[in-house]
Structure 1
Amino acid sequence: MEDMEIIAKAAKIINAGGLVSFPTETVYGLGANAFSQEACLKIYEAKGRPSNNPLIVHVTGLEQAEELAIFNKDAYLLNKLWPGPLTMVLPKKNNSKLAACVTAGLDTVAIRVPAHKVAKDLILQSGVPIAAPSANKSGYLSATSHEHVKDSFKNDEIFIIESESKTLYGLESTIIDLSTSVPTILRFGFVTKQVIEQIISKEVAIATKSSAIKAPGMMHLHYAPTTPIRINAKSLEEGEVGLNFGNSQLDNKGSLNLSHEGNLIDAAANLFSYLHILDNYAKKNSIKKIAVAPIPNESIGLAINDRLTRAVNI
């Protein structure tokens, strides 16, 4: 089946109230018609997702986004980063037609314009905004390939758009809350605090663990493999397999390195993919824990450490 035929089939499924998993530049998404309460509830059911955890709405661009949310000066300035790995949380328009479960009953909505061609074409063909969290069971590792999606949803009725390559960034989008007087980062990603501050010419806050859940990725336990992980490991303990970074030496049979060169961008792109591999390896080889080497807490490293910290619920 040709690519556009696959997109057309997927769009029909979206319009019929079904679920479609599709690649984006960040991670694989699990999408439904954002205007359909019945369809979007299927996302929560399939993922086992808590009902107080809102969904990100994916749109084609600013014009479609303005139909759903109220934009302020900062949002218009940050629009220059769309399409791309940035989600904005904005006041929801009263006449937006969004399904209530999409915003988890909040008066705000999380919106993103994806850069991936398949994602863009799917939204265009569907003719509706698509609500889509990451395509994985709630709390588990995000999917960066269609194989990950298949493994997570073996018994669910989901149409999966397959891609030959894994996702570009490998981490979910940065989420910035622009609905309050002080712009606040709710989730770290490839768009850094410094980049946002430079564009809007003001200081940006960072959400704390006690912050109310206004967007995905804020649950305390999240992004976790089934095998427990130990972070900032400088040596291996008995029954562990290593996930290295740079010149760290957590080396034994099965160990992997996020980036031999110590490149944080490469490390981010490999993080979930390698954790999937090590999780499967651990299950088959009676490994008790995945030991992860220290990651520099700077730039993209902030996003990597955020995912790792939530995976061990620190």
Structure 2
Amino acid sequence: MARRIAIDSAPQEAITAAVDVLRRGLPVAIPTETVYGLAADATNPTAITAIYETKGRPRFNPLICHMADLAMAERHAIFDPLSQRLAERFWPGPLTLILRLRADSAIHPLATAGLDSVGIRVPRGFAGGLISAFGRPLAAPSANSSGRISPTSADHVEGDLGGRIELIIDGGECPVGVESTIVKVEDGRIRLLRPGGISVEALEAATGKTVIRTQKAGATIEAPGMLASHYAPDRPIRLGATSVAEDEVLITFARATVEGEHLARRVLDLSPSGNLAEAAANLFAYMKKADASGARAIAVVPIPNRGLGEAINDRLARAAAPRE
């Protein structure tokens, strides 16, 4: 079983131990503001292969490369003016930019799935400090088996990958709770490839530009999180529920009234007050609770498709999609 170190009680030990594992070409589970990541040296093909093998992730699905700061990112990717503006406004934070890879970048093609572009993010908190201490970018998809519910606590990671990795850094629960927003700037326009922890409204307010949404399912894989089926629990999910059947778990929002609610095996309200940020932070943890309940299915009420609700609905739609 993986060794576990809590940041609160041993911050320097956590950094030292994580750097040691990374230098040996192995992945380590780390907390970020979005979800827990399975991080490894983005310049080392052996380390990147270990990520794919640990997760059971298809190698055509590229990995986000995490940087300590904008200066490190500029050493690996070419920034157009609008991407630069977005980076300066939202980094560190839950925004991933798809950028053209520099010819002299040390990032290995296994991390980019052979593309000439790379997804780059600068995370907040412990992850950023770890990258600074390590001195190289970290490829870090979510720390879970491929296609399953993303982890937002060290307990989630331990329950899934604890027997397959050496080290878990415990930073408590992730405050954002859904993965980063992914965008790509093309011809001066911002394309949304994956909704996430920064809303479209925030991007538009910061740039004065309308964000263009792309097809949500079945699109060409340009970035992580674009597979039609993803974030999937074992139990089937029923979306847009206005009623609940016997032996279903009900995931609700803002104390919504649902017919037959008394029949539900369990009721989980993402945010009784109707706060979409709270709902996003609770989403994956509540999906895991619903999945572990033993119920035959999970019913989810409609979630407003504004702000972080867009990211919530994206994750729910992929979780409910036919398994690939």
- TM band (smaller chain): over 0.9
3-state SS, counterpart of residue 178 of structure 1:
strand
**Paired residue for 2:282, among 262, 270, 291?**
270
The residue aligned with 2:253 is 245
The structural deviation recorded for 1:249 is 3.5
Structure 1 residue aligned with 2:30: 22
Assess, with a 3 A threshold, how the Cα gap between structure 1 residues 311 and 185 changes in structure 2: closer, same or farther.
same
Distance apart, 1:16 and its partner CA: 1.2
Q: 1:141 & 1:153 partners in 2: Cα distance?
A: 12
- Deviation string for 1:243-291 (max 9, x for gaps)? 1111224533422111111111111110001111111112xxxx11011
Task: Tell me if the contact between 1:89 and 1:179 (Cα under 8 Å) persists in the aligned partners.
Answer: no
Q: Where in structure 2 are the equivalents of 1:137-156 lying within 5 Å?
A: 137-156=145-164
Alignment of 1:302-313 (within 5 A): 302-313=310-321
2:130 to 119, 122, 125: 122
Q: Which residue of 2 aligns with 1:293?
A: 301
Q: CA RMSD in A?
A: 1.4
Q: How far, CA to CA, are the matches of 1:190 and 1:253 in structure 2?
A: 30
Q: Under a length normalisation based on structure 2, what TM-score does the superposition of the two structures give?
A: 0.92
Q: Using the TM superposition, give the Cα deviation of residue 9 of structure 1 relative to its aligned residue in structure 2, in angstroms.
A: 1.0
Report the CA distance between 1:180 and its aligned residue. 5.6
Does structure 1 residue 57 correspond to structure 2 residue 57? no
Equivalences for residues 1-314 of structure 1 within 5 A: 2-79=10-87, 80-115=89-124, 117-163=125-171, 165-178=172-185, 182-208=189-215, 209-250=217-258, 251=261, 252-282=264-294, 287-313=295-321
- Which amino acid in 2 is paired with 1:154? G
Helix, strand or coil for the counterpart of 2:232?
coil
* Counterpart Cα distance in 2 of 1:137 and 1:158: 16
Unaligned runs of 5+ in 1: none
Q: Distance in 2 between matches of 1:179 and 1:96?
A: 21
The gaps in structure 2 that reach 5 residues or longer are 1-8
Residues 135 and 180 of structure 1, relative CA distance in 2, 3 Å threshold: farther
Give the TM-score normalised by structure 1.
0.94
